[in-house]
Structure 1
Amino acid sequence: MFDFLLNEEEIKARDEAREFVKTIPRQMILDMDADKIKFPKEFLQEAGRRNLLGVRHPKEWGGRGMSWAGSAAVVEEIGTLGYIFSCTFGVGADLVCDAICLHGTDEQKEKYVKPLLAGDIFAAECLTEPRGGSDFFGATTTAVDKGDHFILNGQKRFIVGAEGADYFLVYAKTNPDAKPQESLSCLIVDRGPGVNVEYLYGLMGCRGGGAGRIVFKDVKVPKENVVGKVHGAYPVFTTMMIPERLGTAAMTIGSARPALDVATGYTTRRKAFGQTINNFQGVNFQIAEAAMLLDACRSLVYTTGRSADIAPYAGQTRRMVSETKKFVTESCQKVVHNAMQVMGGIGYTNVFPVERMYRDLRLATIWTGSNEVMSMVIAHEWYKDFFKSKQANIVRDMELDAEEAEAPDEKIYE
Structure 2
Amino acid sequence: MYEHLLSKEALKLREEVRELVAWVPRQTILDMDADKIQFPKEFLREAGRRNLMGCRYPKQWGGRGLDWVSTCMTMEEVGTLGYIFACTFGVGAELVCDAIIQHGTDEQKAKYVRPLLAGEIFAAECLTEPRGGSDFFGTSTVAVDQGDHYLVSGQKRFIVGGEGADYFLVYARTDHDPKAHPHKALTCLIVDRGPGVKVEYLYGLMGCRGGGAARLVFKDAVAPKSNVVGQINNAYAVFNTMMVPERLGTAAMTIGAARPALEVATGYTTRRKAFGQVIAQFQGVSFQVAEAAMLLDACRAIAYTTASAVDKGVRPDVVRRLVSQTKKFITESCQKVAHNAMQVMGGIGYTNVFPVERIFRDLRLASIWTGSNEVMSMIIAHQWYKEYFERKAARDHENDAAEAGAPDEKIYE
Same fold (TM > 0.5) = yes
The residue correspondences of 1:103-118 to structure 2 (distance < 5 A) are 103-118=103-118
1:185 to 170, 187, 190: 187
The residue correspondences of 1:48-63 to structure 2 (distance < 5 A) are 48-63=48-63
Offset, 1:294: 0.3
Residue by residue, what CA displacement relative to the aligned partner does 1:329-354 show, whole Å, maximum 9, x if unpaired?
00000000000000000000000000
The gaps in structure 2 that reach 5 residues or longer are: none
CA distance in 2 between partners of 1:54 and 1:200 (Å): 27
Amino acid paired to 2:61: W
The residue matched to 2:271 in structure 1 has which SS? coil
The gaps in structure 1 that reach 5 residues or longer are: none
Aligned to 1:295: 297
Amino acid paired to 1:218: D
CA distance in 2 between partners of 1:318 and 1:397 (Å): 28
CA distance in 2 between partners of 1:23 and 1:46 (Å): 9
Residue by residue, what CA displacement relative to the aligned partner does 1:28-75 show, whole Å, maximum 9, x if unpaired?
000000000000000000000000011111111000111111111111
Residue by residue, what CA displacement relative to the aligned partner does 1:233-256 show, whole Å, maximum 9, x if unpaired?
001000000000000000000000
Offset, 1:408: 4.2
Which deviates further from its counterpart, 79-88 or 312-321? Answer: 312-321
Amino acid paired to 1:255: A
Offset, 1:395: 3.1
Amino acid paired to 1:66: L
Aligned to 2:317: 315
CA distance in 2 between partners of 1:383 and 1:311 (Å): 21
The residue correspondences of 1:8-407 to structure 2 (distance < 5 A) are 8-177=8-177, 178-311=180-313, 314-389=316-391, 393-407=392-406
Amino acid paired to 2:296: L
Offset, 1:313: 5.0
How many pairs align? Answer: 411
Amino acid paired to 1:78: V
CA distance in 1 between partners of 2:363 and 2:404 (Å): 48
CA distance in 2 between partners of 1:312 and 1:133 (Å): 29
Amino acid paired to 2:147: G
Amino acid paired to 1:298: R
CA distance in 2 between partners of 1:189 and 1:402 (Å): 62
CA distance in 2 between partners of 1:105 and 1:263 (Å): 48
Offset, 1:394: 4.5
CA distance in 1 between partners of 2:28 and 2:201 (Å): 23
CA distance in 2 between partners of 1:44 and 1:380 (Å): 38
CA distance in 2 between partners of 1:259 and 1:269 (Å): 16
Offset, 1:225: 0.2
Which deviates further from its counterpart, 40-49 or 397-406? Answer: 397-406
The 8 Å contact of residues 239 and 313 in structure 1, kept in 2 or not, is answered as no
Offset, 1:312: 5.7
The 8 Å contact of residues 54 and 63 in structure 1, kept in 2 or not, is answered as yes
CA distance in 2 between partners of 1:100 and 1:199 (Å): 27
Which deviates further from its counterpart, 69-78 or 338-347? Answer: 69-78
Give runs of ≥4 in structure 1 deviating > 3 Å. none
The residue matched to 1:268 in structure 2 has which SS? helix
Pairing 1:412–2:402 present: no
Amino acid paired to 2:284: G
Amino acid paired to 1:110: A
Amino acid paired to 1:111: K
CA distance in 1 between partners of 2:140 and 2:32 (Å): 32
Aligned to 2:4: 4
Offset, 1:407: 2.4
* Cα root mean square deviation, aligned: 0.9
CA distance in 2 between partners of 1:132 and 1:357 (Å): 28
Residue by residue, what CA displacement relative to the aligned partner does 1:146-171 show, whole Å, maximum 9, x if unpaired?
21111111000000000000000000
Identity of aligned residues (%): 73
Offset, 1:400: 1.4
Amino acid paired to 2:159: I
CA distance in 2 between partners of 1:256 and 1:408 (Å): 54
Offset, 1:23: 0.9
* TM-score, structure 2 as length reference: 0.98
CA distance in 2 between partners of 1:267 and 1:89 (Å): 32
* TM-score, structure 1 as length reference: 0.98
The 8 Å contact of residues 160 and 210 in structure 1, kept in 2 or not, is answered as yes
Offset, 1:132: 1.4
The residue matched to 1:363 in structure 2 has which SS? coil
The residue matched to 2:408 in structure 1 has which SS? helix
Amino acid paired to 1:401: D
The residue matched to 1:410 in structure 2 has which SS? coil
The residue matched to 2:188 in structure 1 has which SS? strand
CA distance in 1 between partners of 2:109 and 2:314 (Å): 21
Amino acid paired to 1:350: N
Amino acid paired to 1:325: K
